[in-house]
Structure 1
Amino acid sequence: MGPLRTLYIDMNSFFASVEQQLNPSIRGRPVAITAMENEKGCCVAASYEAKAFGVKTGTSVPEARQLCPGIVFLPSRHRLYVRFNLRVAAVLDRHAELERIRSVDEFQIVLSGEETEIDSARALVARLKDAVAQEVGECLRFSAGMGPNHLLAKIAGKLEKPNGCQHLDRGNMPDRIAHLALDDLPGISRSMRERLERAGVRDIVSLCRLDPRHARAIWRSVEGERFVRALQGEPIPLVKTQRGGFGNSKVLAPEFRAPAEAYLVSRWLIEKAAARLRRDGRVAGSFALHLSPMGRFPWARSIRCAPTQDTLEFMRINRALWRRAWPEIRGGRLAAIGVHLGDVDYLTSRTGDLLLPVAPAERTQGERASAAADFINQRFGQGTIRFGVNRPHPGFFERG
């Protein structure tokens, strides 16, 4: 057995590449994907031809146009990209052992047998590149990283872009990544970098040589120890996370920024979040509302409630929170809003309530009505049944 256990695949400029695959006329041209179809939006993705001019994620549309006069702007179509994600995943799974889809453009593959050796792993990457190009599209390329665990494989996958292939293990660590800044590593935020620097850890080499027990103290969590042990090449597996809640947020288009309009959008967001909550068999014990007034400090409040999956109950709490916020936002404009259903647990774990009355794990009348609405909407189309007046605000995740 060789030193490698994980192959990490990072699709190159995935959104823009999908668009170029579907539209040959924009292949080889600078392309930017935008979240909003106006001059006030920003780029959420860019092709490598656009990146060569300095266009990157977060670049505003006017700035991108100035940097690259011939750039092509396209609205994001997330559902389309998800479909291509699944097509790529199917190809990878036929040719290798796909362990996990990490995101819409990232995949994790298990290496075993001969493929734990560097030469065999590189040969596998070459076969996967050919398979994706032939079975999904020639514009779809990826960079690959290999390592003894998911962290080193992911870092290796970022070292050579586009269309690269690199590996990290105890044989070339930490020298191979010594040129990186601390916050170039996944999981190291600016605040964590500052915390590390206060502890005397100012570069990658120092971090890699850190005693894992000291890392636990710096992180104030066992995750610090896990992180450093992974950097040192130990086979640290990913920990399965528990879902903390269901939420939706929206950067508002200009026509939705008046508080009265934004309130109706919040109702639409609640319908979507509550439907996902029920689809996952969960109940939520709290509801939070987040408002971002333009030119003012953000406003956020939450209310605890009996664990429920009743859309109308969340609507009632939402209305109460908007009433609290109204004196501070009336007459202004909102840049963004968000709702969050928190303190989640499974419906099967909920105890009964003699006052309702409802038996353990049994749905209330309102929850049964909500579930019936889900069934009808799934069969006849979203929005067939609504829980009162709302304002749909389709955007990044609804297109395609």
Structure 2
Amino acid sequence: MGPFRTLYIDMNSFFASVEQQVDPSIRGRPVAITAMENEKGCCVAASYEAKAFGVGTGTSVVDARRMCPGIVFLPSRHRLYVRYNLQVAAVLDRFCELERIRSVDEFQVALSGEARALAGARALVASLKGAVAAEVGECLRFSAGIGPNHLLAKIAGKLEKPNGFQWLSADNMPDRISHLELDDLPGISKSMKARLLRAGVYDVGTLCRLDPRHARIIWRSVEGERFVRMLQGMNIEITPTKRSGYGNSKVLAPELRQPREAYLVSRWLIEKATSRLRRDGRVASSFSLHLSPMDAPRWARSIKTASTQDTAEFLRINRALWIRAWPYVRWKKLLGIGVHLGDVDMLENRIGDLLAPLAPAERSAGERASAAVDFINQRFGEGTVTYGINRPHPGFFERG
């Protein structure tokens, strides 16, 4: 049995558990985390006490209140959850080799020594559970899975919740996961499931036994071959991804759904996206605006530009796109908006411009001014300096 290479840790109802850890008065009670503080929103997370009543991610606030009388609704505090994520990561890294923080509630650990055998891995997981409870909080529990690669370890980690431990290897595959639906597997979307069904792959067992070369054809990508080979137990390293762009999107609060208010929110989103762009030393050469009216098709347009990290330049492009969109959206309420800076590259790779004039990798006056704004806001607080009028819409990711 084994050897096992990867331990995957999946925190149980993480957002709700953090809130219960912070506030002892709601421990043992059904709790739902919402993205918006009104009856129009939906749940983005739920405690196991709430899940027992059928409340889950995507359940509307109205339905959750009906399904689970006495449920406690709390607004999301993403920064709080990130702080707890880092505390858990610090504990894990002290006991073993923390390879990756896969998300705010998932961690990937490399196994070595005695932990590559089932008994040793089981003992390690028990130690980690005890340490997280003692050092981070007794409400913080996780399910763990081990496998010969990260994919099988992740699948194993979702087989027994909450607070479980499972393993997958050649000794119990594919029978151990034959009860799962194709789209229960990570990476299999509804559209990919439909493609697999058209190819005659109707269940997980058939997928596990598929010729990897056939999978490449079905996926129309080498990723299909990689996926099936990992299901069959091969250890394939995660391919590093290249950053394709910087974006922000927002489901608008009811009071900000008029186009004039939504336009001010878009300016705020651009300030945040361009600040991250500069932080990473990158430039972008395209800008996209997405507007989602209520009860009407989405409006979206993109514009190419010279590569830049100048916030003022992207604000000018945003204004131009809003002028084009105005006849379509002026009488509509907007449910959501999004901005995206695309075609990114490193500033150090930008060639010079004789007409500007700019030397290779040299910042323009506007880019230097933008960097100065970043410095002031970092030192004295976000929003100390803004690029004219905007409308902050913190919501999910800025609370805490």
* TM class, shorter-length: over 0.9
Contact 1:2 1:114 in 2 (8 A): no
Whole-angstrom CA distance in 1 between matches of 2:225 and 2:317 = 41
Name 1:90's counterpart in structure 2. 90
Shift of 1:177: 0.2
Whole-angstrom CA distance in 2 between matches of 1:183 and 1:135 = 36
Q: TM-score, normalised by structure 1?
A: 0.99
Contact 2:44 2:58 in 1 (8 A): yes
The superposition leaves residues 300-330 of structure 1 with CA deviations (integer Å, 9 ceiling, x where unpaired) of 1100111100000000110111111111101
Contact 2:37 2:75 in 1 (8 A): yes
Shift of 1:3: 1.7
Whole-angstrom CA distance in 2 between matches of 1:350 and 1:118 = 51
Give the SS at the match of 1:397.
Answer: helix
The superposition leaves residues 33-85 of structure 1 with CA deviations (integer Å, 9 ceiling, x where unpaired) of 00100111100000000000000000000100000001000111000000000
Give the SS at the match of 1:37.
Answer: coil
Name 1:315's counterpart in structure 2. 315
Matched, 1:157 2:157: yes
Shift of 1:237: 1.3
Count of matched residue positions in the alignment of Structure 1 and Structure 2: 400
Give the SS at the match of 2:10.
Answer: strand
Name 1:105's counterpart in structure 2. 105
Name 1:194's counterpart in structure 2. 194
Name 2:238's counterpart in structure 1. 238
Name 2:306's counterpart in structure 1. 306
1:374-385 equivalences in 2 (<5 Å): 374-385=374-385
Name 2:339's counterpart in structure 1. 339
Contact 1:258 1:334 in 2 (8 A): yes
Name 1:17's counterpart in structure 2. 17
Matched, 1:297 2:285: no
Matched, 1:247 2:243: no
Whole-angstrom CA distance in 2 between matches of 1:243 and 1:172 = 37
Give the SS at the match of 2:28.
Answer: coil
Whole-angstrom CA distance in 2 between matches of 1:167 and 1:345 = 41
Give the SS at the match of 1:84.
Answer: helix
Shift of 1:278: 0.2
Contact 1:290 1:300 in 2 (8 A): yes
- For structure 2, the residue ranges without an aligned partner over 5 or more in a row are none
Give the SS at the match of 1:396.
Answer: helix
Give the SS at the match of 1:128.
Answer: helix
Question: What is the percentage of aligned positions where both structures have the same residue?
Answer: 78
Contact 2:2 2:148 in 1 (8 A): no
Runs of 4+ in 1 over 3 A off after TM superposition: none
Name 1:34's counterpart in structure 2. 34
Whole-angstrom CA distance in 2 between matches of 1:330 and 1:19 = 40
Shift of 1:368: 0.2
Name 1:271's counterpart in structure 2. 271
Code of the aligned partner of 2:319: R
Shift of 1:2: 3.9
Contact 1:28 1:49 in 2 (8 A): yes
Contact 1:77 1:399 in 2 (8 A): yes
Give the SS at the match of 2:36.
Answer: coil
Name 1:7's counterpart in structure 2. 7
- For structure 1, the residue ranges without an aligned partner over 5 or more in a row are none
Shift of 1:193: 0.4
Q: TM-score, normalised by structure 2?
A: 0.99
Whole-angstrom CA distance in 2 between matches of 1:149 and 1:285 = 38
RMSD of equivalent CA atoms: 0.7
Shift of 1:155: 0.4
Name 1:144's counterpart in structure 2. 144
Name 2:117's counterpart in structure 1. 117
Shift of 1:236: 1.1
The superposition leaves residues 183-205 of structure 1 with CA deviations (integer Å, 9 ceiling, x where unpaired) of 00000000000001111111001
Contact 1:78 1:397 in 2 (8 A): yes
Code of the aligned partner of 1:337: I
Give the SS at the match of 1:180.
Answer: coil
Shift of 1:374: 0.1
Code of the aligned partner of 1:394: P
Name 2:67's counterpart in structure 1. 67
Code of the aligned partner of 1:380: F
